[in-house]
Amino acid sequence: MRRPETDLHLHLDGSLSIDAVKTLADRIGYDFKGKDVKKMLSVGENCESLPDYLKCFDLPGILLQTKEALEYAACDLVKRLAGQGLVYAEIRFAPQLHKQKGLTQGQAVEAVVKGVRAGCLETGIYAGVLLCAMVNGSDAENAATMELAKVFFGEKTVNGVIGADIAGPEGFVPMEHFEGMFKRVYQAGVPFTIHAGECGDYENVARAVAFGAKRIGHGCAAIQSEDCMRLLEREKITLEMCVVSNLQTKAVAGIKEHPLKKFFDRGIRVTYNTDNMTVSDTSLEREAELIMSELGFREEELKKMNEYAIDGAFVGEEVKCRIRELMRK
């Protein structure tokens, strides 16, 4: 029997199913011009870097520009996750990327939250929404995203907005540029994670912790610094690691060089996640099988990482208790 699983690091636009893409494309009359849909959405074996990886988001960016499309995609994703045996997921997206046809960021958020709630109601799993600022976004757009995170987080509703993030090509803008933005989010009491140390250096991980992040997206580069690893241990920071994605973006040289097991063995709170199910052509089960066969993880250690995920989740304690009960059952 498969273990009950969690996914803390999952991008909506990178996880559209092939069927969902075809449905959304049909709605707007998008012509694939004979192209292989999967090849348009997944990186395959020849990905050279993170920027190369990000090219696979072009088609989802075209399709997810209406309230109906965002709601449909979010609901479909939650139902697929439930079908895979998940008990909890945090779905992140950048509302500023969905304004091409006149939507406001707020309308985009409302649509995704509506879809997530519908999927959760139908399936019984729990899922929250994280709002992403973008490293390569404008200061004004990023500020608007974080204001929405404050407003929607303040509603304190189950399966709604539960936190914030910043994503995009790490290093495009120095991490220090975002210190003020995250300090304001921290002061407002909104929990947040930061993509750091994916393809950048370990100092970005330390900076993110200094900003107030309780979780780090990826964090592979922390292995380069003993001081950074001690910081993660001391502050009980949860790492959202995505092994298949890290291999594809060349965040690590190869599976044997991935730091997940080294972090786990020294007591750092690591979790395994998918990042982008469709872009990376992965699932939690594929991630689990890979780290068991190649990194030597045992079943009880995977269970422990799922417990770390619930401990580090951005939902309240009451919901965490419900999720832990689902996991026990």
Q: Which residues are catalytic?
A: 198
Mean pLDDT of all residues in 96-100: 98
Neighbours of 108 (CB within 10 A): 25
pLDDT value at residue 1:
40
Q: What is the pLDDT of residues 81-94, one digit of tens each?
A: 999 999 999 999 99
pLDDT value at residue 193:
98
User: How many CA atoms does the CB half-sphere of 168 hold within 13 Å?
Assistant: 19
CA distance 283 to 272: 11
Hey, what are 309's tokens?
A: 């995920």
Q: What is the pLDDT of residues 208-238, one digit of tens each?
A: 999 999 999 999 999 999 999 999 999 999 9
Residue 277's pLDDT band (cuts 50, 70, 90): very high
Residue 48's pLDDT band (cuts 50, 70, 90): confident
The CATH class given to the 5-328 domain equals alpha beta
Residue 129's pLDDT band (cuts 50, 70, 90): very high
pLDDT exceeds cutoff 60 at 201: yes
CA distance 165 to 29: 33
Q: What is the pLDDT of residues 137-167, one digit of tens each?
A: 999 999 999 999 999 997 777 789 999 999 9
* Percent over 90 (pLDDT), the chain: 87
Q: Where is average pLDDT lowest: 42-51, 169-178, 274-283?
A: 42-51
Coil, strand or helix: which one is 165? strand
pLDDT value at residue 3:
83
Average pLDDT, the chain: 95
CA distance 29 to 43: 25
Q: What is the CA 264 to chain-centroid distance, rounded?
A: 20
pLDDT value at residue 47:
82
Mean pLDDT of all residues in 59-80: 97
* Percent over 70 (pLDDT), the chain: 99
Residue 78's pLDDT band (cuts 50, 70, 90): very high
Mean pLDDT of all residues in 247-258: 93
pLDDT value at residue 200:
75
Mean pLDDT of all residues in 247-266: 95
Q: Are 328 and 28 a contacting pair, CB within 8 Å? A: no
Return the domain boundaries, the chain.
5-328
pLDDT value at residue 169:
86
Please list, residue by residue across 110-127, b when 16 or more beta carbons sit within 10 angstroms of its beta carbon and e when fewer do: bbbbbbbbbbbeebebbb
